Amino acid sequence: MKTQATKLNWLSENLKELGSKGLLIQKRVIESPMGAKIKVNGKWVLNFCSNNYLGLANNPLLKKAAKKAIDKYGIGPTAVRTIAGTTKLHLKLEEELAKFKKTEAVITFQSGFMANLATIPALVGEGDIIFSDELNHASIIDACRLSKVEVVRYNHTDTKDLENKIKSKLPLNIPLKSKTLIVTDGVFSMDGDISPLPELVKLSEKYNAILMVDDAHGEGVLGKNGRGIVDHFNLHGKVDIEIGTMSKAIGVVGGYVAGEKVIIDWLRLRARPFLFSSAMTIPDVAACISAVKILQKSDKQVLKLWDNTKYFKEKIKGLGFDIGKSKTPIVPVMLGEVKLAQEFSKRLFENGIFAMAIGYPTVPEGSARIRVMMSAAHSKNDLDKALEVFSNVGKKLGVIS
């Protein structure tokens, strides 16, 4: 045991150092269904912390669909999709998602993270090149590493910088033997800003690059009925790959890739999480189908989400808070130092508001914040209560006057 302790001393030392900097993650335990109000560590609080954009996580129709599917198919397929893990429900979900996203085909995965890990290494390899926004999600970063490809990071949403870097690597009029991939988040999850997708489409066409967008925080939020960033900019057929998640606005879990049939056919043969990891569980698939059908039929919840977002942003900016450059229901209340953000979050919680502090390494050092997440489930009274508490805590901590 002494030898073991010696081998792991570096872990204890690093954890102690992180603790001194206020960087240890303190988990809070949810004891109720996800909604506008939830029970956390035994206390009922207003929820401004989850990605439940449309309030679907506890929707009766989704729960009914999951229960019905369990009665018919059981819980889990207990196999990968290519052996014995594909049920009629899996095919139905992919069919419904393709209709919703207006693409030729869809392939589903166990999570949005898995969808990125599956796609990038399957499409590019040694000798190819990836141009990636510097603030892309960790799943994109990890997928790029797995692909063993040269990765060139361009300044956040800066298409001029991107083109300059493309030119330095891919001169025009010279035949290319390698493949090129431009990859970006659609909505950036920490700042709430939106990718300049129309400009990226032009660059992908100019330099014959594959264009991939991770729309995890755009689905259910942007576009008609929440179809996402491609629909938002009316770029159907111009973006090669759309990565999606079903754990946020859709309210369940799972990921998918939407695009041309030839891309999806290739992923069915080469995407390792599809080939070597068990399929999505039965109740999750059934609930996802129900959620997609709800979005196809009505934009009521999407409109409510944006109404809440506009109201809250106007009011909190009026109080004097800095919310950065957000253009979406992600509202970062910028505080700077992580210990201040943690203290702010603690006092919010004490006053019935659940909104967590976000610090390094999730965001750069010195840019800690409270990330407030809007939902269609919130009432105006919920928003007013949150604003009142933010105002009181902000004044007591000297953030606003």
| Residues that are catalytic | 189, 217, 248
The answer to whether 185 and 213 have CB atoms below 8 angstroms apart is yes
C-alpha dist (Å) from residue 349 to 52, 90, 182, 215, 220: 19, 40, 41, 30, 28
HSE of 264, CA atoms in CB hemisphere, 13 A: 19
Amino acid identity for residue 63 in this structure: K
The answer to whether 46 and 354 have CB atoms below 8 angstroms apart is yes
Taking residue 293's Cβ as centre, other Cβ atoms within 10 Å add up to 16
Q: Rounded to an integer, what is the distance from CA 191 to the centroid of its chain?
A: 12
- Determine the Cα–Cα distance for residues 16 and 32; give it in Å rounded to an integer: 33
The answer to whether 373 and 50 have CB atoms below 8 angstroms apart is yes
Residue 203: closest CA among 184, 174, 230, 182:
182
H-run or E-run covering 282 = helix 282-297
Return phi, psi of residue 103, to 5°: -120, 170
3-state secondary structure 289-340: HHHHHHHHHCCHHHHHHHHHHHHHHHHHHHCCCCCCCCCCCEEEEEEECHHH
HSE of 102, CA atoms in CB hemisphere, 13 A: 18
- Determine the Cα–Cα distance for residues 183 and 217; give it in Å rounded to an integer: 15
